[in-house]
Homo-oligomer: A and B are copies of this chain.
Amino acid sequence: MANMEKEYNLSKNQQIVFDIIEKSSEPVKAYSILFNVKKKGIKAPPQVYRALEKLIKLGKIHKVESKNAFVACKSSNCEVSKATAFSICEICEKVTEIANNKLSNFLNSFEDKSGMKYKKYNLEFFGLCKKCKKT
């Protein structure tokens, strides 16, 4: 019920692309999406990239810049994407979105030397996940 309206105003292609990303347990690349939606009638890169662009604007997905790949936003009703943080394992490449108030509060209120504040940021942490640390 809570997320009934979540995908309300997505267009056909946007919904198809979003479904692929949301179902994946790992970041999905644009051309992987393209390959997977050929059967649904999406045939060319611009169709995928346009959907991605819109989904990012809506905050429904994020781009993991260091991987050129896309993940669904897990934060509860993240309406508009402006502040993202990810944890990335350097071995298994697992990517997890970090939702941490202390972190986001700190970054949202960060001021540089010139007193400039930022309304938007993207942070990518690299390290070893639990599994990979053990081995």
Residue ranges of A at the interface with B (Cβ–Cβ < 8 Å)? 65-66, 87, 90, 98, 100, 103, 106-107, 110, 112-114, 116-127, 129-130
Interface pairs (6), CB distance under 8 Å? A87-B118, A116-B130, A118-B126, A119-B126, A119-B127, A120-B126
CB-based contact A121/B123 at 8 Å: yes
CB-based contact B100/A129 at 8 Å: no
CB-based contact B121/A122 at 8 Å: no
Give A98 Cβ to nearest chain B Cβ, in Å.
6
Instruction: Provide the residues of chain B in CB contact with A114, threshold 8 Å.
Output: 130
CB-based contact A127/B120 at 8 Å: yes
CB-based contact B87/A116 at 8 Å: yes
Instruction: Provide the residues of chain B in CB contact with A65, threshold 8 Å.
Output: 65-66, 124
Instruction: Provide the residues of chain B in CB contact with A126, threshold 8 Å.
Output: 118-122
Residue in A87, A98, A118, A125 whose Cβ sees the most chain B Cβ within 10 Å = A125
Give A27 Cβ to nearest chain B Cβ, in Å.
14
CB-based contact A112/B124 at 8 Å: no
Partner of A98, one of B100, B112, B122, B125: B112
Given contacts A112-B100, A130-B116, contact A124 B125 (CB under 8 A): no
